[in-house]
Chain A
Amino acid sequence: MTNSPRITRRNVLKQSASLLAAPALLTATRAVAADSLVYVSYGGATEDAEVASFIKPFQTDSGVNVVAANGPDVAKLKAQVMTGNVEWDVIDLIGSQVTAADRVGVLEKLDYSVIDPSDMAVKPEPAGYPFYVYGGGIAYDPARHPDGMHPTDWVQFWDVKTFPGRRGLRSRPDENLEMALMADGVPAKHLYPLDVDRAFRSLDRIKPYVAKWIAETPQTISLVQSNEIDFVFTYSGRVQAARKQGVSIAYVYDANIVTPAYTCVAKGTRNKAAAMKLTSYFAHPERQAVFCNTLGYSPTKRAALKLLTPDTLAQQPKLDDPKTAVTDINWWADNFIEVNKRFKEWLLT
């Protein structure tokens, strides 16, 4: 009986205080411990591979606990920084999101004395370290369009006489302008600065054959699956996931437009040193290779390329291939708003 907790006024107060704090603990994951980090990524298979390849080794070496959260969103990050309630520490961001986020001042500058910026196939940004690239390219249903019956680059994608079929493109200007220029004969390595007028003239030619300008990424797969579209612009990772589920869809690894994915550190993180250290784990060639072998992405460290399995190598865009275009996120950061308005107006007319 003496061991059971006595009901005293102090105990009751303590208990109710912790009850009151419970909701705060549930929403604010960072309240777990002062020296822990919150890492935000896109979830699913990507998150699992990231945890196994980068997060676990960091936790073991440093003893810092890392809580993985889902759904990086620059708007949410901006709200956190504006209200001084920063819950995220290290964040995955894609392409020009990094420059957009950096320009509104919600990212820390990375400490490149901690993170190794050498031997990179993609240029590191002041506020974002690129750790893999993913490809965007042509996908089709091989049951309806066997070899030789589908386009394999942008000139052919634009060639509706040789390759008749309904096209599907994204409803945003980035990637579309690049492929329009390549379809018009601009070499993939000499796209930037983009000739916007020329790109729109080229887009004019394909416009009547685009059955759907796709806003939601899952539709790039489902519309090929339901035979609403013959040739679609989508991403290699999406196609691989769909193939695993038994969907009849194939992907062209040539003539890809690749976009880097970055790790970033939130402005006002309460654990800056640890956040930089965690980011540095994304810059190890071996870990990048483990990550990319799991998901079939391309690593950014040239040394990591040599560590890929033949299977992985066969299923990814080659960064140094003359037909592979690499998104210039800084050009897009400078021009996105204006070009996007023009693109939306162009769609409406």
Chain B
Amino acid sequence: MRLGARDGAVFVIPATIFMAAAFVAPLLMVIVTSVGGTDLTLAHYKELVSRPLYITVLWNTLQISALSTIATILLAYPIAYHLARQPPRRRAFLLILVLLPFWTSILVKSFAFTVLLGRDGTLNTALIWLFGPGARLPMLFNRPAVLIGMTHYLIPFAVFSILASLLAQNPELRRAAEIMGAGRLRIFLTITLPLSLPGVLAGALLSMILSMGMFVTPALLGGRTDLMISNLIDFHVRETLDWNAAAALAVCLMVVTGLFAALLSRVRPGQLLGHEP
């Protein structure tokens, strides 16, 4: 018996049922809660636009997420590039190193950053030793601290998706370019980079989505203005017990994140570079 394309559906049925029960159903509940259940009211959404608080915090969330995504991609690309050029065994070992941060809880990592970035922290001690007492930098409880903490968390996600697209490239293409006399920079810019852009976009999308939902890192490392939308959701769920407002906020966050996902998935690698590949 041969399996046709239609039979392929059989394989995704278990996952579909699981997702329907564990993801779609609770999501619908959230949407229903956000309009006050059977009351069908938009009051909780009106509340969100009635005060500067939510708009400011949403704007903060977007800014912090975008910046940490950019930093993540810039740092993850060279790592993935290096990994792609290693023999498989060595690469497997190095990948374990990339994954190492995942084995520590985000709370512990944030406390560790306090030790590193603090006023008397490792970095400042080194700076003062090198350049004198004037070299001390405020690196904690501000926006840069949040970005450092978040980027550190996000890098492994981006490395994996970029690495996948680098490894998928046909090495013959680079060899052909080399034979035709292209320099290394030219090969990178015209072959490797454009072909890896789907991976870069996937990594960026993943980083963006993950960072939109973060709240422990900004709470521990950030200053007073580094409030993110998830902090407010957490607050409404646990402290004011206003689950309608929490649900409305969650739906807004989901819509904004969804818009970004749609936007990023529509960008074709060629459009990014200004010409068709």
**A29 sits at the interface (CB 8 A):** no
Establish whether residues B225 and A348, one from each chain, have CB atoms under 8 Å apart when the complex forms. Answer: yes
Establish whether residues B239 and A347, one from each chain, have CB atoms under 8 Å apart when the complex forms. Answer: no
Establish whether residues A211 and B141, one from each chain, have CB atoms under 8 Å apart when the complex forms. Answer: yes
Chain A nearest CB from B233 CB (Å) reads 12
**B268 sits at the interface (CB 8 A):** no
Chain A residue with the shortest CB-CB distance to B237: A75
**B119 sits at the interface (CB 8 A):** yes
**B35 sits at the interface (CB 8 A):** no
Establish whether residues B224 and A210, one from each chain, have CB atoms under 8 Å apart when the complex forms. Answer: yes
Chain B residue with the shortest CB-CB distance to A346: B224
Chain B residue with the shortest CB-CB distance to A219: B220
B-contacting 9-mer, from A135-143, A223-231, A292-300? A223-231
Establish whether residues A347 and B51, one from each chain, have CB atoms under 8 Å apart when the complex forms. Answer: no
**With A215-B219, A215-B220 known to touch, is A340 a contact of B56 (CB < 8 Å)?**
no
**With A215-B219, A222-B114, A348-B56 known to touch, is A73 a contact of B238 (CB < 8 Å)?**
yes
**A344 sits at the interface (CB 8 A):** yes
Chain A residue with the shortest CB-CB distance to B235: A340
Establish whether residues A227 and B53, one from each chain, have CB atoms under 8 Å apart when the complex forms. Answer: no
**A232 sits at the interface (CB 8 A):** no
In the assembled complex, the Cα of A226 lies from the Cα of B141 at a distance in Å of 14
Chain B residue with the shortest CB-CB distance to A342: B53
**B163 sits at the interface (CB 8 A):** no
Establish whether residues B241 and A104, one from each chain, have CB atoms under 8 Å apart when the complex forms. Answer: yes
Interface residues of B in 211-234 (CB under 8 A from A): 219-220, 223-225, 227, 231-232
**B57 sits at the interface (CB 8 A):** yes
Establish whether residues A100 and B225, one from each chain, have CB atoms under 8 Å apart when the complex forms. Answer: no
Residue with the highest number of chain A CB atoms closer than 10 Å, among B56, B224, B227 = B224
Chain B residue with the shortest CB-CB distance to A78: B241
Chain A nearest CB from B54 CB (Å) reads 9
**With A216-B220, A226-B115, A344-B227 known to touch, is A337 a contact of B53 (CB < 8 Å)?**
no
**A212 sits at the interface (CB 8 A):** yes
Establish whether residues B120 and A227, one from each chain, have CB atoms under 8 Å apart when the complex forms. Answer: yes
Chain B residue with the shortest CB-CB distance to A212: B141
Chain A 313-349 against B: per-residue CB contact (8 Å), 1 yes, 0 no? 0000000000000000000000011001100110110
Chain A 186-226 against B: per-residue CB contact (8 Å), 1 yes, 0 no? 00000000000000000000000011110110010011001
In the assembled complex, the Cα of A341 lies from the Cα of B245 at a distance in Å of 13
Contacts of A347 in B (CB 8 A): 224-225, 227
**With A223-B114, A226-B118, A344-B53 known to touch, is A213 a contact of B224 (CB < 8 Å)?**
yes
Contacts of B178 in A (CB 8 A): none
Establish whether residues B120 and A345, one from each chain, have CB atoms under 8 Å apart when the complex forms. Answer: no
Contacts of B57 in A (CB 8 A): 344, 348
Contacts of A78 in B (CB 8 A): 241, 243
Contacts of B225 in A (CB 8 A): 347-348
Establish whether residues B240 and A226, one from each chain, have CB atoms under 8 Å apart when the complex forms. Answer: no
Interface residues of B in 82-105 (CB under 8 A from A): none
Establish whether residues B224 and A75, one from each chain, have CB atoms under 8 Å apart when the complex forms. Answer: no
**B52 sits at the interface (CB 8 A):** yes
Chain B 108-144 against A: per-residue CB contact (8 Å), 1 yes, 0 no? 0001001100111100000000000000000011000
Establish whether residues A228 and B140, one from each chain, have CB atoms under 8 Å apart when the complex forms. Answer: yes
When A and B form their complex, which 7 residue pairs have the shortest distance between CB atoms, in order from nearest? A215-B219, A347-B224, A213-B224, A75-B238, A345-B53, A212-B141, A227-B120
Q: Which residues of B contact A (CB under 8 A)?
A: 51-53, 56-57, 60, 111, 114-115, 118-121, 140-141, 219-220, 223-225, 227, 231-232, 235, 237-243
A-B residue pairs in contact (CB < 8 Å), sample of 25: A74-B238, A74-B241, A75-B238, A75-B241, A171-B219, A212-B223, A213-B224, A215-B219, A215-B231, A226-B114, A226-B115, A226-B118, A226-B120, A226-B121, A228-B140, A228-B141, A336-B240, A337-B240, A337-B242, A340-B235, A340-B239, A341-B53, A348-B57, A348-B60, A348-B224
- In addition to A211-B141, A347-B225, 5 A-B residue pairs with Cβ atoms within 8 Å of each other are A78-B241, A213-B223, A216-B219, A216-B220, A344-B57
Q: Which residues of A contact B (CB under 8 A)?
A: 73-75, 78, 100-101, 104, 171, 210-213, 215-216, 219, 222-223, 226-228, 336-337, 340-341, 344-345, 347-348
